Amino acid sequence: MANPSLYDMNLSDLEALLRAWGQPAFRTRQIYRQLYLNLAADPAAMTDLPQALRERLAHESTLNPLHLVRSQVSADGLTRKALFALPDGVQIETVLMIYADRATVCVSTQAGCAMGCSFCATATLDLRRNLTAGEMVAQVLWASREVRNLASQPASTTNPGRSSAEDATWWGESHALRRPLERVSNLVFMGMGEPFANYDRWWEAVQRLHDPLGFNMGARSMTVSTVGLVPGILRLADAGLPINLAISLHAPDDALRNELVPINTRYPIKEILAAAHTYVEKTGRRVSFEYVLIQGRNDHPHQALALAKLLRHESLICHVNLIPWNPLPGSPLARSDLQRVRAFQQVLVDYGLACTVRVERGVEIAAACGQLAGGGNCSHLG
């Protein structure tokens, strides 16, 4: 029988385990603080615990289910991708992105994906399995340790291509943290897999990370992206936490979307927009629509106009995030050039829609949107 995973336990679960071990109740809070506040990566680091308890935790529980296989760093040192092996050998990828005022981790919720989107590397893997809540939580805690380590080291150490003389400038510019961070500040469930196809475990991870007694991340700092699984959108609308919702749309009509996002045959655009209305009405929050631009497929001006009319007709409180398609080896698809991207954006803006072009990060290390493949050189955008 496998050792219990500490990251898969909420406070009550952990208390029950320690009670079975004959430990006093206050040890539960101590361990919880070590896991989520001190970011302890090893029971040996939990020095406020008795030696015997630390040893038992090491031998009879699993703290970190992730084994780091490989890490890659972008040329500017601000995007980091980790390839992890899970206990059963399947692999996933996680991405950490450093900005001027925040650090964002992109988390995988499945190993592989069953959605079959034609432009996405993860779709080529098919679905291997759902991740546990603890495996999702562990990705966030890995990223938090990375941020803590980065904040404590000079840039010349974290990015060997930068000289020590450039450190002060690097840390003071917009491309570095303007203020020290002890952990990640933002979380996006946009890595490998479809979160709402693993809703229950995904929600357990959200609760664990949101727990004020634990990691205590605000719900407004979390974003979940879906290809449009309507039941999941409706569940989130009733969930009671103001988590940001992003819907991967990628086409203004069902005919094209059926080709790009096959799940559209089950949940067509009309049903997705109806669910989005419910989310906005119940939460008071706007919804984001992600739109990957593929040269000659979905980036024509008439398609921009159709999208603008569709969203304006719906009168949704929304934002459109345009994402130039990121290259995948061997794919026949092509990336929209900047002129076409800007022209598409202008049509939406002229119709009064809030619209931005996503800032690209980590393309050269295959860490950008649509490129995660769990060990291949190619995330799900939903």
Of 222, 231, 246, 221, whose CA–CA distance to 198 is shortest? 231
Q: How far apart are CA 325 and CA 305, in angstroms?
A: 20
Q: How many CB atoms lie within 10 A of CB 99?
A: 17
Q: How far apart are CA 292 and CA 357, in angstroms?
A: 10
Annotated catalytic, 318?
A: no
Residue 227 · residue 117 · CB < 8 Å: yes
| Beta strand extents in 173-256 (DSSP E only) | 186-189, 222-226, 244-248
Q: Pick the catalytic residue: 15, 93, 146, 290?
A: 93
Q: How far apart are CA 220 and CA 31, in angstroms?
A: 27
Q: Pick the catalytic residue: 113, 117, 369, 378?
A: 369
Of 127, 5, 132, whose CA–CA distance to 60 is shortest? 5
Residue 321 · residue 313 · CB < 8 Å: no
Helix (H) or strand (E) holding 30: helix 26-36
Q: How far apart are CA 103 and CA 121, in angstroms?
A: 24
Annotated catalytic, 271?
A: no
Q: How far apart are CA 280 and CA 316, in angstroms?
A: 8
Annotated catalytic residues are 93, 369
